[in-house]
Amino acid sequence: MADLSIDLGFLKLRNPVLAASGTFGYGLEFAPFIDLERLGGIVVKGLYFYARPGNPPPRLAESPSGLINSIGLQGIGVKAFSQEILPRLAGLRTAVIVNVCGSTNEEYAQVIDYLDRQEGIAAYELNISCPNVEQDGLCPALSPEATHAIVRLAKRTSRRPVITKLSPNVTDIVCIAKAAEEAGSDAVSLINTVLAMAVDVETRRPRLANVFGGLSGPAIKPIALRLVYQAASRLKIPVIGLGGIMSGRDALEFLIAGAMAVEVGTANLVDPEASIRIIQEMEDWCEEKKIKKLKDIIGTLNVASP
């Protein structure tokens, strides 16, 4: 059998497939459907310090080859997560990564400080796509200066590795990614959802109560691949790719483009067993191509002229 293991430098994974934050709950919701220990890791639903109700409904709208959501990072907060969820995840032989959110820079640090006292967490994924009220709603990931400041604060606070999750809604992903790298981020993950909207032609009203939402699913995969390739080509730290991965071949495209691991998101909403199927499809492909170690294909994209 092919060796699918991946070493990110700060974290070793049995395979490169992580369940993405926001579409996999806190992980336990999928236990009736799949063996969670077959995953490379689980990135749990985003956590603010306190419980958060999220945005008013309607919060979901289907789109051709995609889904637009404006859930608004609804969550139970770090205390409830630490008391009710984490003890049940801690025994898994699967990396547990917590997606950290904040309305201010200080809240990000506060969340990390609290979680640092808990056991069973492998790393933090810093979600800098949420609005920062100190900056008049500016998303930190849209600015290299804001990205650098928040990553630097998180790294000073954390005793664990920090992965910075980047937004696609920028003109220069490399500039933002390098700011995260220079601030000490151990890795970056990209992309988060693409800003979008939908209109009901009968009522002439937005289909989402929040008007705008984030587009995910197969429709954004070409965008995600381009941004992952650009970031991986310029960074020294690992890149984790996500955006529209529905099959093993999709995941392989990201690895060939330079990602060292991938996250599977919207596919989980269509098929609860998607992540496990994707792992199996990658393994089958390696067997067919007689590739002994999956890591050998990472960053092998040939862009030279024939």
Instruction: State pLDDT tens for residues 24-63.
Output: 999 999 999 999 999 999 999 999 999 999 999 999 999 9
The SS3 of residue 209 is: coil
Number of H helices and number of E strands within the chain? 9, 16
Q: Is the peptide bond before 191 cis (omega within 30 degrees of 0)?
A: yes
Two tokens at 103? 């309305």
User: DSSP string of 232-284?
Assistant: HHH-SS-EEEESS--SHHHHHHHHHTT-SEEEE-THHHH-TTHHHHHHHHHHH
| Catalytic residue of the set 130, 139, 175, 286 | 130
Parse the chain into domains and list their residue ranges: 6-54+72-195+215-297
For strands 66-69 and 60-63, give the pairing: antiparallel
CB of 193 closer than 8 Å to CB of 216: yes
Q: What is the dihedral sign for C-alpha 263, 265, 270, 272?
A: positive
Q: Output the pLDDT for position 136.
A: 52
Q: Output the pLDDT for position 91.
A: 87
The SS3 of residue 15 is: coil
Q: Output the pLDDT for position 262.
A: 98
To the nearest 10°, report the CA torsion of 264, 269, 275, 277.
-130
In CATH terms, the superfamily for domain 6-54+72-195+215-297 is: Aldolase class I (3.20.20.70)
The radius of gyration computed from the CA coordinates of the chain, to the nearest angstrom, equals 18
Q: Output the pLDDT for position 27.
A: 96
CA distance 217 to 222: 11
Q: Output the pLDDT for position 138.
A: 63
Two tokens at 19? 């369940």
pLDDT digits (tens, 9 = 90+) for 259-288: 999 999 999 999 999 999 999 999 999 999
Q: Output the pLDDT for position 129.
A: 78
Per-residue confidence in pLDDT tens, the chain, 306 aa: 899 999 999 999 999 999 999 999 999 999 999 999 999 999 999 999 999 999 999 999 999 999 999 998 999 999 999 999 999 998 899 999 999 999 899 999 999 999 999 999 999 999 997 655 555 556 889 999 999 999 999 999 999 999 999 999 999 999 999 999 999 999 999 999 999 999 999 999 999 999 999 999 999 999 999 999 999 999 999 999 999 999 999 999 999 999 999 999 999 999 999 999 999 999 999 999 999 999 999 999 999 876
User: DSSP string of 104-151?
Assistant: SHHHHHHHHHHHTTSSS--EEEEETTS-BGGGTTB-GGG-HHHHHHHH
Two tokens at 262? 């991938």
Q: Output the pLDDT for position 139.
A: 83
Look up 130 and say whether it is catalytic: yes
Q: Which residues pair with 97 in a beta bridge?
A: 43, 123
